[in-house]
Amino acid sequence: MKSHTLALSLDLIARAHPTPVPDDPTALALQPDYVLEQGLDRMLAARAEPALPLWVFGYGSLIWQPEFAVAEQRVATLRGYHRRFCLLQRRFRGSPRRPGLVLALDRGGSCRGVAFRIEGSDARSVLMPVWRREMRGSGYEGRWVLVSTAAGPVPALTFVANRSSDRYTGRLSDAATAEMIATGCGHLGPSASYLFHTVAACAELGIHDRHLWRLQALVAECLREAASPQG
C-alpha cells in the first residue's frame, strides 16, 4: 500500500470473528438464473454502442475480486454517484442475527474506481458470472454510465443501489455504519473483511476515499473495544 496505513487489519477482524457462521439460505431470496439471464439480455440490448469494447466499472469488491478475464484496467471517475455502505447483508457477509453492510453506488457526488475492459467476444457469457453475483440478491440495478479515465472517457456497465429494495438502508451515520460493519458476519466471512480488502485495493491504486478511510478507522475502534476486557 502507498502513502497510507490501515487502522483495520485482518488479524483484528479474525480475533473479533473467530467462529464460522453457517449459511442460512432462507435469509435472502435469490433470483433464479432464467430471470437473471433475461435481465442481462435487456441490459445488453440497451447498450448504446455495442461495437465498442465492453467495460465494467468497479468500486467495491470488483476491484479486488473481479468475475471475468481482464484485458485492461484503468483508474476511472464516475460523476453523479458516490460509493456508500447502504445495502444490508443478511447472508454471505451478514446473517439475520448479525447483518452486515456492503457498498453500492448512490446518487450524487462522484466516485473513483476501476474501469475493466473485458476479454472475450461473447459479452453475454463473459458478463453472466458477475451479473449473477451482483444481481441475484435484488440489491442492485445495472446501469450504463460514462466514466473518465486518463486515456479518455469510456462507457461502462456498473451496479447502482436499488432504492426500492428492502436491503437499501439510505444514509446511515458513520457511527451506525461502522457498528454494523464491525458486527456483521456471514458464511463468506465478516463484513469488515470486505471493507478491509476494498480500502487496501483502493490504496494500492492511489484511490483515497476519505469516507472509506474514516469508516475503516471507526470499524477498527469498534473491534478493539469489543475485544477489550471492558468490551
User: Is the separation of the CB atoms in 150 and 115 below 8 Å?
Assistant: no
Cα–Cα separations (whole angstroms), residue 29 to 7, 79, 91, 167, 225: 35, 32, 10, 11, 34
Is residue 179 flagged as an active site residue?
A: no
C-alpha–C-alpha distance, residues 28 and 127, integer Å: 23
Residues sharing a CB contact under 8 Å with residue 26, sequence separation 6 or more, in sequence order:
none
The one catalytic residue among 72, 119, 134, 221: 134
Residue at grid coordinates 469508516: 215
- Distance CA(80)–CA(208), nearest Å, equals 18
Minimal CA–CA distance to 94: which of 10, 7, 167, 199? 167
DSSP letter string over 105-170?
Answer: EEEEEEEEEEEEEEPSS-HHHHHHHHHHHHHTTS-EEEEEEEEEETT--EEEEEEEE-TTSTTB--
Q: What cell does 85 get?
A: 455502505
- Under DSSP, is residue 86 helix (H, G, I), strand (E, B) or coil? strand
Q: What angle do CA 8, 186, 193 make, to 5 degrees?
A: 20
Which are the catalytic amino acids? Answer: 134
